[in-house]
Structure 1
């Protein structure tokens, strides 16, 4: 293991610990307000707030996995930095969402087999991506942009330029797939702090999406099909 790798892992651990501390502080404030009842009462299990937190947390955790693979294996300092930024940012955000769900007394991930994105349906009238290139007004079994097990296994086996290109392709598609959920939550979540985080996710992932398209073009590669 190189000194750069050890250093990167140390910073990720530090970022994770800071995130946990911040979540703990946020949880304390949320508990205080939740006890007041009324408008500060926890959102229901079928709300946009809970659905977004569960689904986006799951979406983020796969991004953390892919970014960790790239950070450990790439020889490109630009991509190592990008992977570290994605890994640390989305780990902190996933921890924040886990804190909300704990305070709301909700599972930190969707129930197995329950599907995803049903909270975006607005009574079955709002169409959203079905994860297969089409649209639906109900829950989906695979969120847009999520990499398959085969794709993740391939990423783990590659090195050099092939690794970098596949990472950029998978992460670009992943970011684009998550934007729809974040945009919806930024507009429809009941809690201001949920809308605020969703808006931050939209802005940061739009910026990173633009950057990754440029990096792919520089390597003579094209994005994967849209989610």
Structure 2
């Protein structure tokens, strides 16, 4: 729909209906857009391809925002629609199961790298993921201890999942696939990573698979 620069738009935030956090909102010529996914500064080609797929192939009204430190894709939304979601119980709150499943995949790749390539490569992977969290402004990833916990503590036994939105999950899984290719090349790392989902109950595993296949990054993990 649009490719815009930071000076072309206004970015604000509104309170999350269920959590103590904010939902970023982009405004352009009276239209409002909600964050879908974030790309790093060196991923212009991937950002444009993602944006074109949403607009040309899926018919969605989206904005590609170009900034010096990142690219981001935003989908058109009405503020009254967000208010109705909050009033009706909210489709905005990300189901904890989706976050847990993504963390299982993250941990599976981390363990795979450590087992196959050693602790030095595992430490490098941790640095790569830390940069993904920083660029994507992931909540509760501000410290090295917090990131270490995300990589090591069983998300199914944890009392609280991080308050990530679906845009964060899309970014995490897209970057996880990109990083996996740098470490494993053409070996079938995606299949091994997805095996971690066997830890989920069957119903939740099926629900996550449906969500993943319908998401903008689903084709990467098929």
Q: TM-score, structure 1 length as denominator?
A: 0.30
Q: Which has the higher helix share?
A: 1
